Amino acid sequence: MSQRLAELAATTDLAADPVGFASDPWWLILFKAVLVFAFCVVMTLFAIWWERKVVAWMQMRIGPKHVGPQGLLQSLADGVKLAFKEDIIVKAADKPVYILAPVVSMVPAFMAFAVIPMGGQVSMFGHQTHLQLTDLPVGVLYILATASVGIYGIVLAGWSSGSTYPLLGSLRSTAQMISYEVAMGLSFAGVFLYSGSMSTSTIVGQQGDTWFAVLLPVSFIIYIVAMVGETNRAPFDLPEAEGELVGGFHTEYSSLKFALFFLAEYVNMVVVSSLATTLFLGGYRAPWPITAVWDGANSGWWTLLWYFLKVQLFLFLFIWLRGTLPRLRYDQFMRLGWKVLIPTSLVWLMLIATVRAMKNEGYDYRGIVLGIAGAIIAILVLSVVWDMFRGTDDEEEKAKAAQPPPGAPGAAEPFDPMAGGFPVPPLPGQELPPVPRRAVRRAEPVGAMVGNGNGTGSADDESATDATDKEV
C-alpha cells in the first residue's frame, strides 16, 4: 500500500500540497454543494437544447432558434411553461407515492455527483480546496448505490399511476437498468484492478501516464454500452417506446412532476458521462499532446475545462446514438446484456487479472503475450471447428427446402431485390432467397415448415420464411 501511495504522490500534482477533503469549512461545503447543484441544472438545460439542435442538424432541420440567442433559452422556457400547466393527479393513482416518486428519482441522480472529481486543487475565497464535493474510499460503489436507488423512483412512478402503460414501462425500465448495471459493475472491476482503489480522485491520479481507456479497451466499450442502457437512452429507450407504451413510466405525469423526471434523466446522463471520464479518460487531466507542451495544463482551474470538454464528448455521443440508431427490440436488448456483455466482461476481467498477476510475479512480457495470443487462437480455431460440425446439416437442408424444384410455378422468375434500383418486396409468385443465417437452436413448431419442400404454394413458403426470420 505504502509503495502505491508513493507512486501516486509522484504522479499527482495534488499530492504536492495535499489538502484533505474533510478540511473544508462548513460554509465552503455548502457553497460547493450549491455550485454542483447549479452545474447539474445548467448542464441539463444546456444538454436538452444541444440535443434538440444536434438531432435537428442530423435530420436537416434547424431546431429551436427563437428563445434567446440560437434558441439557448428554449429549455428554460419549456420548464416555465411546464410550471404553468395543470398538475393532474389521476383518479386511480396511489397519491403519496405518486407525488413523491419524481423526487425519489431526482435526488439520487444529484447525490451521485458528490464524488465526481470535476477538477484539481484550486483556491476558493482564500481556501485551498478540491473541485470535488467529497471523496469517499468507496466512491464508485457509492455511485452504483445511488443509481440503484434512482430505479425506485421509476418503479414507484409506474406502479402508483394505476395505469397499464406506466406499469409496463416501469417494469421494463427496471429490468433493463438492473441488467445493465451488472455489465457496468463488471467493467468497473478492471479499473479497480489497475488503480488499486475505488476512490474517484485516486483513480484519476493513477491515470497520469496512460488513460485506462487505452489499458482496458474492452472494459471501456462495455461501460459505454452499459451506460446508454443504464440511462434508458436511445437506442435502448424501450421504457419510453412511444409506439407501444406511450410515454412509459411517466405517461400519467404532468406539469413540474414531469419536468423532474426529465431533470433526473439528464442529470443521470451527465453523471454517467462524468464517470466514464473519471474512470477511463483520465478525469480532469489534460490530454497528452497538451501536457507535453504545456506544464500548467494540469493545475488550478484549467482542469475544470478538460473535465467539461470530455463530458461534452460523451453527451454528444448520447445524442449521436439517438440520431443514428433505431430502437432495439426488448429480447434483442436483453440478449445483448446477458449473453454478450456479461460473459465478455467476465472473460476479459480474468484475462487482465492473469496478465497482471504474471507481471507481478516477474514473468517475461513477451511470454505472456505469446501465451494469451495462443489461447485466443486456440479458442477461435475450436469455435470454427465447432461451427463447421454444427452448421452444415441444418443450413443445407433449409436452403434446399426453400428452393422449389425446377418446373414448379414458383420458380418461374428469380426475385431481384433491387429491381429498378430500389429495394422492392417480392411479387406474387416470387419468393425471398433463403437468409444465410445460423440455424435456430430451438426446435421449430411443426406447422412452420410444412409449406416448405413440396413447392406447391409460394405464399406458404413466404410466411414460413418470415416466421423463421423472426425467431432467429
Partner 1 sequence: MNLYAPILALGGIAAAFGVVSLVAGALTGPKRYNRAKLEAYECGIEPTPQPAGGGRFPVKYYLTAMLFIIFDIEIVFLYPWAVYFDSLGIFGLVEMALFIATVFVAYAYLWRRGGLEWD
Using CA atoms in the order 422, 428, 433, 434, what is the torsion angle rounded to 10 degrees? 130
Nearest-approach distance from CB 65 to partner 1, in angstroms: 27
Question: Which residue from 12, 161, 173, 273 is in contact with partner 1, where contact means CB under 8 A?
Answer: 161
- Contact region for partner 1 (CB under 8 A) — 18-26, 221-229, 274-282, 293-301? 18-26
Question: Which residue from 64, 71, 190, 205 is in contact with partner 1, where contact means CB under 8 A?
Answer: 190
Q: How far apart are CA 407 and CA 446, in angstroms?
A: 27
Q: How far apart are CA 404 and CA 323, in angstroms?
A: 42
Q: Which of 173, 182, 118, 117 is nearest to 150 (CA)?
A: 173
Site string for partner 1, 333-352 (x = CB under 8 A): -xx--xx--xx--x--xx--
Nearest-approach distance from CB 294 to partner 1, in angstroms: 32
- Residue 371 interacts with partner 1 (CB under 8 A)? no
Closest to partner 1 by CB, 54 vs 352, is 352
Q: Which of 284, 286, 282 is nearest to 304 (CA)?
A: 284
Nearest-approach distance from CB 255 to partner 1, in angstroms: 4
Q: How far apart are CA 272 and CA 259, in angstroms?
A: 20
467, three cell numbers: 416466421
Closest to partner 1 by CB, 26 vs 422, is 26
Nearest-approach distance from CB 270 to partner 1, in angstroms: 13
- Residue 24 interacts with partner 1 (CB under 8 A)? yes
- Residue 380 interacts with partner 1 (CB under 8 A)? no
- Contact region for partner 1 (CB under 8 A) — 21-29, 60-68, 420-428, 432-440? 21-29
Burial degree of 234 (CB within 10 A; 0-12, 13-18, 19+): buried
- Residue 141 interacts with partner 1 (CB under 8 A)? yes
Question: Which residue from 107, 122, 145, 449 is in contact with partner 1, where contact means CB under 8 A?
Answer: 107
Q: Would you give the distance in Å from CA 15 to the centre of its chain?
A: 33
Nearest-approach distance from CB 25 to partner 1, in angstroms: 11
Place of cell 455521443: 317
Which helix (H) or strand (E) element contains residue 119?
strand 119-124
Question: Which residue from 5, 6, 19, 30 is in contact with partner 1, where contact means CB under 8 A?
Answer: 30
Nearest-approach distance from CB 46 to partner 1, in angstroms: 18
Name the 3-class secondary structure at 235.
coil
DSSP string of 131-195, one letter each residue: ESS---TTHHHHHHHHHHHHHHHHHHHHHHTTSHHHHHHHHHHHHHHHHHHHHHHHHHHHHHHHH
Nearest-approach distance from CB 148 to partner 1, in angstroms: 9
β partners of residue 119: 131
- Residue 278 interacts with partner 1 (CB under 8 A)? no
Closest to partner 1 by CB, 228 vs 342, is 342
Q: Would you give the distance in Å from CA 141 to the centre of its chain?
A: 18
Closest to partner 1 by CB, 102 vs 120, is 102
Alpha helix (H) ranges present in 325-452? Answer: 330-335, 342-360, 365-402
Q: How far apart are CA 337 and CA 208, in angstroms?
A: 32
Question: Which residue from 8, 43, 47, 106 is in contact with partner 1, where contact means CB under 8 A?
Answer: 106
Site string for partner 1, 65-104 (x = CB under 8 A): -----------------xxxxxxxxxxx------x--xx-
Site size for partner 1 (CB under 8 A):
89
- Residue 188 interacts with partner 1 (CB under 8 A)? yes
Q: Spell out the long-range contacts of 324-331 with Cβ–Cβ below 8 A and sequence spacing 24 or more.
A: 324/58, 325/234, 325/235, 326/235, 327/234, 327/235, 327/236, 327/237, 327/238, 327/241, 328/235, 328/236, 328/238, 330/172, 330/238
Question: Which residue from 73, 182, 218, 401 is in contact with partner 1, where contact means CB under 8 A?
Answer: 182
- Residue 154 interacts with partner 1 (CB under 8 A)? no
Question: Which residue from 9, 56, 76, 136 is in contact with partner 1, where contact means CB under 8 A?
Answer: 136
Nearest-approach distance from CB 114 to partner 1, in angstroms: 5
